[in-house]
């Protein structure tokens, strides 16, 4: 099986962590016999320095032509002086999402057994195991609705539009994801107040009854969901949310794992096309020092194998390798307890690849 991957290393620690993810993918290819056709392209501030555009036409064309995109990170203080529309985060990330038709964001949050002590939650909360997936609608809601400021500047409003087809396609993604996991979906809304949330709940309920009765479904108001994420996160399997609620809840959930360097993500569109990236930023303060944690990017590559290419066994293998390396005590600085020896970005990637060899 030949798979075309556009690799966009980007800025800051991006090139360092992407290099280790590619090392792991190479180990998977050698072990499984699959062929990954990989081509790197500039993006973000690095691309702006190279050709004056954070998303060059050639990079966008390559992303559209590929089966999947593996992204490192973009942005940094160096490019903050650019006009807002030309900055890496907006010009590169938002344009890629729009042009690739990416409507669903998946953020898994897992407390690895070897890292329970790194979680800010109490031992009794994390000891039962935490492994949840936030499925966030990515192209609708208040972020993309009409915005208006009054002429006198004393009032403003943001429209939060959602249509039945938009809700159905993200709900379908959540239900299908639940079938791959433990078979439970919690749909988050504010149906006691918002009309869009009432439409959301009605649509999700109808789709569940029609096609996914094998999946357990419950509904939860967003304020209660925020509370339960820190009080009893083990109760969740798949959290289905609209855009703004998902933005907030996924950032809250990311803190449960103990380090943002452990958290991957996928943004998916039609036909399995996806953009895969760690949720952390470019971390310019540690760029070039060889201390960044590559695990989030490696796990993003595992998500790519699972969701775009349907290679569940290979994705499982990467995740098991990460768990084995962590259980052996190997740590980068962000996940190490005080006084514990740490390894470099390269050594962490090499250790995981060696398990797969």
225: its two tokens: 């969901």
CA geometry: angle 12, 57, 91, nearest 5 deg: 50
DSSP state of 283: -
Options 26, 53, 131, 247, the catalytic residue: 247
> For residues 188 and 249, what is the distance between their CA atoms, to the nearest angstrom?
10
* Catalytic residue list contains 67: no
Scanning the chain, the segments in alpha helix (DSSP H) are 14-32, 44-51, 57-65, 95-100, 123-126, 164-180, 195-211, 222-231, 243-254, 295-307, 312-327, 345-356
The pLDDT assigned to 270 comes to 87
> For residues 147 and 28, what is the distance between their CA atoms, to the nearest angstrom?
47
Contact 249, 226 (CB under 8 A): yes
Options 64, 78, 116, 190, the catalytic residue: 190
DSSP state of 221: E
> For residues 257 and 158, what is the distance between their CA atoms, to the nearest angstrom?
33
Options 49, 158, 223, 316, the catalytic residue: 223
Contact 86, 65 (CB under 8 A): no
* Catalytic residue list contains 190: yes
Domain ranges of the chain: 1-112+259-357, 120-257
Tell me if residue 149 falls in helix, strand or coil: strand
The pLDDT assigned to 1 comes to 67
* Catalytic residue list contains 143: yes
DSSP state of 336: P
> For residues 295 and 20, what is the distance between their CA atoms, to the nearest angstrom?
9
The pLDDT assigned to 225 comes to 98
Backbone angles phi, psi at 135, to 5 degrees: -110, 105
Residues of the chain below pLDDT 70: 1
What architecture does CATH give domain 1-112+259-357? 3-Layer(aba) Sandwich (3.40)
The pLDDT assigned to 129 comes to 86
The pLDDT assigned to 257 comes to 87
CA dihedral 26, 30, 33, 39 (to 10 degrees): 20
Options 49, 65, 251, 285, the catalytic residue: 251
* Catalytic residue list contains 276: no
Shared fold status for 1-112+259-357 and 120-257? yes
Answer CATH for 120-257 from 3.40.718.10, 3.10.105.10, 3.40.50.360, 3.90.550.10: 3.40.718.10
Question: How would you write 188-202 as a 3-class SS string?
Answer: EECCCCCHHHHHHHH
> For residues 259 and 251, what is the distance between their CA atoms, to the nearest angstrom?
12
Backbone angles phi, psi at 68, to 5 degrees: -150, 160
Options 53, 64, 143, 347, the catalytic residue: 143
Per-residue pLDDT tens digits for 164-215: 999 999 999 999 999 999 999 999 999 999 999 999 999 999 999 999 999 9
Contacts of 202 (CB under 8 A, 6+ apart): none
Contact 233, 254 (CB under 8 A): no
* Catalytic residue list contains 316: no
125: its two tokens: 């909360």
């Amino acid at each position: 099986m030949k798979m075309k991957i556009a690799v966009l290393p980007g800025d800051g620690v991006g090139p360092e962590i992407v290099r280790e993810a590619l090392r792991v993918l190479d180990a998977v290819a050698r072990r499984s016999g699959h062929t990954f056709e990989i081509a790197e392209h500039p993006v973000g501030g690095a691309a702006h320095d190279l050709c004056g555009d954070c998303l060059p036409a050639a990079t966008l064309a390559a992303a559209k032509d590929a089966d999947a995109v593996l992204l490192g990170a973009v942005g940094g203080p160096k490019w903050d002086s650019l006009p807002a529309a030309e900055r890496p985060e907006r010009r590169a990330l938002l344009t890629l999402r729009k042009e690739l038709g990416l409507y669903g964001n998946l953020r898994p949050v897992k407390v690895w057994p070897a890292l329970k002590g790194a979680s800010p939650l109490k031992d009794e909360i994390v000891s039962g195991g935490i492994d949840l997936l936030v499925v966030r609608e990515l192209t609708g809601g208040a972020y993309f609705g009409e915005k208006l400021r009054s002429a006198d500047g004393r009032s403003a409003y943001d429209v939060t539009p959602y249509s039945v087809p938009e809700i159905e396609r993200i709900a379908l993604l959540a239900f299908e994801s639940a079938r791959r996991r433990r078979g439970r979906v919690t749909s988050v809304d504010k149906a006691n107040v918002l009309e869009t949330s009432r439409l959301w709940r009605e649509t999700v309920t109808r789709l569940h009854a029609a096609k996914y009765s094998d999946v357990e479904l419950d509904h939860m108001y967003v304020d209660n969901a925020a509370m339960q994420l820190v009080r009893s996160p083990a109760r969740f399997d798949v959290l289905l949310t609209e855009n703004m609620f998902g933005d907030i809840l996924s950032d809250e959930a990311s803190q449960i794992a103990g380090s943002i360097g452990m958290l991957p993500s996928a943004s998916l569109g039609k036909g399995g096309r996806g953009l895969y990236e760690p949720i952390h930023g470019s971390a310019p303060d540690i760029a070039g020092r060889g201390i960044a944690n590559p695990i989030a990017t490696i796990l993003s590559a595992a998500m790519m194998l699972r969701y775009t290419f349907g290679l569940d066994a290979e994705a499982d293998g990467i995740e098991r390798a990460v768990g084995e390396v962590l259980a052996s005590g190997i740590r980068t600085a962000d996940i190490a307890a005080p006084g514990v020896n740490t390894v470099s970005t390269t050594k962490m990637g090499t250790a995981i690849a060696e398990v797969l060899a």
